[in-house]
A and B are shown apart, each in its own frame.
Chain A
Amino acid sequence: DAGVIQSPRHEVTEMGQEVTLRCKPISGHDYLFWYRQTMMRGLELLIYFNNNVPIDDSGMPEDRFSAKMPNASFSTLKIQPSEPRDSAVYFCASSLAGTNNEQFFGPGTRLTVL
């Protein structure tokens, strides 16, 4: 398996623009996670899905952020409109099951909002 795939790897955009990050989890994994990492706040869980259903989105910073998982092999994280403070590395991870299961992380998307 190729592992968790994220695209794009780098994104530079201007404030106010819409940004869409994409993730393909490992085939057969039932859980998908979106994280954000910054120097100031460390690694934060934004939202996670189980069998394509959002379970906990309490980490989503505000209404500008939305995440979807239309099927078991694809998820998106959208920011609209983007702001400079959204600049961070966004990781997607997947796991075979939920608690106590190893999470496999993708390479991340480095987002820069100017």
Chain B
Amino acid sequence: LAKTTQPISMDSYEGQEVNITCSHNNIATNDYITWYQQFPSQGPRFIIQGYKTKVTNEVASLFIPADRKSSTLSLPRVSLSDTAVYYCLVGDRDSGTYKYIFGTGTRLKVLA
């Protein structure tokens, strides 16, 4: 079964770039890697998704190396409102049934 590993927590200052890495050693072939953001007392919210190389949208970038065993979420110039927990989500097909596997989550704290 695919296993995902993320740092438990990170601190950053406003205006800095933050990179959060997720290791996923056995993700399903042809499946995307997805990242979610969660604020206290809310459900997770989609941020970005990618298959390989680099993807960028209005809020983040996602870097995925060729072996796809990890991915890095990059948040440019963070602000206090980016304080949240960030999860990666991958899929696994080894057992025959598709399984959705969330990472352990990284608690990002942005300081003024």
Q: Are the C-beta atoms of B34 and A102 separated by less than 8 Å?
A: yes
Interface residues on A, range: 20 to 34
Q: How distant is the Cα of A35 from the Cα of B32 in the complex, in angstroms? A: 20
Residues of chain A with a CB closer than 8 A to B97's CB: 55-56, 58
Q: How distant is the Cα of A59 from the Cα of B102 in the complex, in angstroms? A: 12
- Given A33-B100, A45-B99, A55-B98, answer yes or no on A103-B31 (Cβ-Cβ < 8 Å): no
Q: Are the C-beta atoms of A105 and B43 separated by less than 8 Å?
A: yes
Residues of chain A with a CB closer than 8 A to B28's CB: 99
Closest B residue to A100 by beta carbon equals B32
Question: In the complex, what's the smallest C-beta–C-beta distance from A89 to chain B, in angstroms?
Answer: 9
Ordered by A's residue number, 22 sampled pairs between the chains whose C-beta atoms are within 8 Å are: A4-B43, A35-B102, A42-B102, A43-B87, A45-B100, A45-B101, A56-B97, A56-B99, A91-B43, A99-B31, A100-B31, A100-B32, A100-B34, A102-B46, A102-B49, A103-B36, A103-B44, A103-B46, A104-B46, A105-B44, A107-B41, A108-B43
